[in-house]
């Protein structure tokens, strides 16, 4: 980056014979828009670096809103339960918090046209006509086209000050001038773009097909205590030295002529830390279950849990007929 050249109302691109230097100077309405001096093609590197820094900063901020859901999911997976775990990132109650992080990404320039990365790089998004800081709504419209980032990069390489989003929103990227007075932001204007972004993303996420393909819609009222106790006794008598079993058998899966079986095995030692020992124990357990319940007669899950001081570990496997096999029946 060099000292800005004198203001001109044009785009000057020059390639020097010695050293391959190119200078980009953009001005409009007396505003020094952007000046970049490039040596040996470093403009592409500089431009991509600015876009990646912006993306990185907002991605890290967005991830913060997903962390509670991630922690909740991990806690569920490490807690023995016959209830089926529903992922909380794009499903369940935590989706509403996660969408906030996604919405903020598109509103990153709302405060006087300056995202966190643009503040680091001393840049600002301004209105193409007035030269003032772009409004929150214009910044939001500008950032919508980040969804087409390969096209945005190609357009930005041709004109660093105006990518495709700028052309749509009527904005421009300039060097930040601290002496320039910043217009006040009205609360309504600031809150409207995040509200639109949040509602749009939430509707899109809710419209996605259910990815919890292993979830079984069984009838809790069909719980068969006698059959559950019988299988639990068989597991205890045969493999009780390895674990303490907890079995639930439900006679009805809605819209399927199958039973649902949930088995929780609380291990006496950590047999699931090593893959070989886990596979051997899982083979013995499933063979014993199938000797009492034909594989084609049910669907279910088998959960292994080991808990010691300062250590909790679990593994889950599907047992019985698969979801796809059941649908083909």
pTM exceeds 0.85, yes or no: no
Residues 286 and 178 reside in one and the same domain: no
- Burial per residue of 287-298, b for 16 or more beta-carbon CB atoms within 10 angstroms, e otherwise: ebbeeebeeeeb
Which of 181, 207, 233 corresponds to the end of one domain?
Answer: 207
Residues 202 and 224 in one domain: no
Block mean pLDDT (10 aa), the chain, length 329: 40 34 41 45 63 88 89 77 64 83 93 91 90 94 88 75 86 87 87 95 83 71 95 96 96 91 95 94 96 94 88 88 52
Same domain, 49 and 185: yes
pLDDT of residue 198: 96
Domain hosting residue 146, numbered range: 44-207
**What CATH number should be reported for the domain holding residue 318?**
3.30.300
123-127 and 259-267: which strand pairing?
Answer: unpaired
Closest CA to 1 of 31, 34, 33: 34
Query: Quick check: 25 and 4 in contact, CB under 8 A?
Result: yes
Do 77 and 179 fall within a single domain? Answer: yes
């Amino acid at each position: 980056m060099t000292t800005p050249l004198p203001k001109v109302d044009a785009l000057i691109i020059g390639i020097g014979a010695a050293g391959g230097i190119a200078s980009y100077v953009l001005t409009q309405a007396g505003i020094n828009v952007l000046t970049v001096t490039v040596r040996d093609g470093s403009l592409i590197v500089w431009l991509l670096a600015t876009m990646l820094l912006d993306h990185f900063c907002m991605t890290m901020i967005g991830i913060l809103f997903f962390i509670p859901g991630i922690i909740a999911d991990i806690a569920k997976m490490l807690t023995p339960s016959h209830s089926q775990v529903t992922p909380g990132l794009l499903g369940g109650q935590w989706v509403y918090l996660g969408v906030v992080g996604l919405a903020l990404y598109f509103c990153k320039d709302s405060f006087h046209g300056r995202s966190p990365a643009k503040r680091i790089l001393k840049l600002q998004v301004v209105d193409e006509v007035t030269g003032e800081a772009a409004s929150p709504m214009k910044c939001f419209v500008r950032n919508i086209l980040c969804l087409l980032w390969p096209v945005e990069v190609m357009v930005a390489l041709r004109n660093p000050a105006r990518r495709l989003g700028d052309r749509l929103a009527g904005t421009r990227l300039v060097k930040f001038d601290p002496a320039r007075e910043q217009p006040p932001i009205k609360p309504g204007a600031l809150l409207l773009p995040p509200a639109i972004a949040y509602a749009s993303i939430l509707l899109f996420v809710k419209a996605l097909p259910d990815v919890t393909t292993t979830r079984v819609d069984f009838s809790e009222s069909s719980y068969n205590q006698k059959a559950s106790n019988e299988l639990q006794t068989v597991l205890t008598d045969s493999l009780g030295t390895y674990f303490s079993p907890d079995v639930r058998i439900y006679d009805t899966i809605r819209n399927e002529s199958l039973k649902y079986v949930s088995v929780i095995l609380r291990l006496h030692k950590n047999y699931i830390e090593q893959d070989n020992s886990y596979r051997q124990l899982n083979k013995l357990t499933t063979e014993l279950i199938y000797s009492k319940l034909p594989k084609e007669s049910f669907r279910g899950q088998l959960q292994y849990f080991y808990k010691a001081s300062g250590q909790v570990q679990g593994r889950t496997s599907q047992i019985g007929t698969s979801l796809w096999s059941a649908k083909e029946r």
